[in-house]
Amino acid sequence: MIIRFVRVDLLFVFLAFILPACSSGLKSVPHPASPCQFSAQSLLGTIEENSSRISTLKGRAGMKVVSTRENLRARCLVFIQKPDQLRLEVLNPLNMPLFLFLNNGQEWVYYSFPENRYLRGKSEDNTSLLGLKVKDIILCVSGGIPLPYNGEKGECTSDGDHTLLTLSSDEGKERIWIDAGESRIVKGELYDLFGALKLRVDFREFQQAGDIHLPRRIEIYLPENSTWITLTYEEVQVNPELEGDLFDFTPPPSAERGGFSSEPLIPNP
């Protein structure tokens, strides 16, 4: 089931946090000679091993969203538990909850605090948000990166400071730039089968979170929407213990299902 969204003033604020990709610098990769002496599969193994070291995450972030239609700033709270549980809260300028999005692997829920209304539906493996599966979004937010094109062809080159990993298949192409000295993914690009750019993400200002490096600043470009998003972590915790019911939703007794008079962001089957 593919979730579609009705455009509202908060549309890009919502997308800014659920779409962002992250990267981690955990396992050291030796500085490669030119041409690159490492195989694509060995670098993929490093990326996947680094990502597996994060199972939960919670954080607060500021964001700026600029497009032909929007110029917005907001704060978000995010909680993830791999492989498929996500809780996202968007806050108003007074840091009060504005709306809530949950996905617990069984169902998704959207709840508008001002309207005291909600929608819910079943989660499925092919559920996507602007072309990214929910599991891939969770992977990005927790310090990994989606690898949709890792199944067939891969090559590795080096410019001295960065290792460039290129992955391709009949579905499209992915390019990942890795800091050769620190093993940090500093940039990623996804292309479709026809070579059109789908997503570009730049990672900057890495910070220590436990024994893991996460980018404090994430810059995202979405060509389809002509949208630029800057996400800046204010605080983040890696592998915290999360409450058991954090990803469950029980509507308040007075809450009504569906029908938002102010037309907030609404996911539909």
DSSP 3-51: -EEE--TTHHHHHHHHS-------S------SS--S-HHHHHHHHHHHH
On the question of pLDDT at 196 being above 90, the answer is yes
Q: What pLDDT band is residue 125 in, cutting at 50, 70 and 90?
A: low
> Mean pLDDT of all residues in the chain?
77
Mean pLDDT along residues 226-245: 87
The DSSP bridge partners found for residue 87 are 79, 102
How much is the pTM? 0.76
Cβ atoms within 10 Å of 29's Cβ, excluding its own: 20
Using pLDDT thresholds of 50, 70 and 90, give the confidence band for residue 264: very low
Percent pLDDT > 90 in the chain is: 18
Among candidates 247, 240, 180, which has minimal Cα distance to 212? 240
Note the pLDDT of residue 94: 86
Instruction: Please determine, for residue 6, whether its predicted confidence score (pLDDT) is greater than 70.
Output: no
Positive or negative, the CA dihedral 189, 135, 241, 109 is: positive
Residues 242, 235 contacting (CB under 8 angstroms): no
The domain spans of the chain are: 13-239
Of 1-15, 30-44, 138-152, 184-198, where does mean pLDDT reach its minimum?
Answer: 1-15
Lowest-confidence region among 45-59, 139-153, 182-196: 139-153
Q: What distances in angstroms separate CA 5 from CA 13, 85, 148, 211, 269, one per listed residue?
A: 13, 20, 23, 37, 9
pLDDT above 90 for 26: no
Q: What is the CATH number of domain 13-239?
A: 2.50.20.10
At 42, give phi and psi (nearest 5°).
-65, -40
Which tokens go with 135? 């599991």
Kindly indicate the confidence band of residue 56, based on its pLDDT and cuts at 50, 70 and 90.
very high
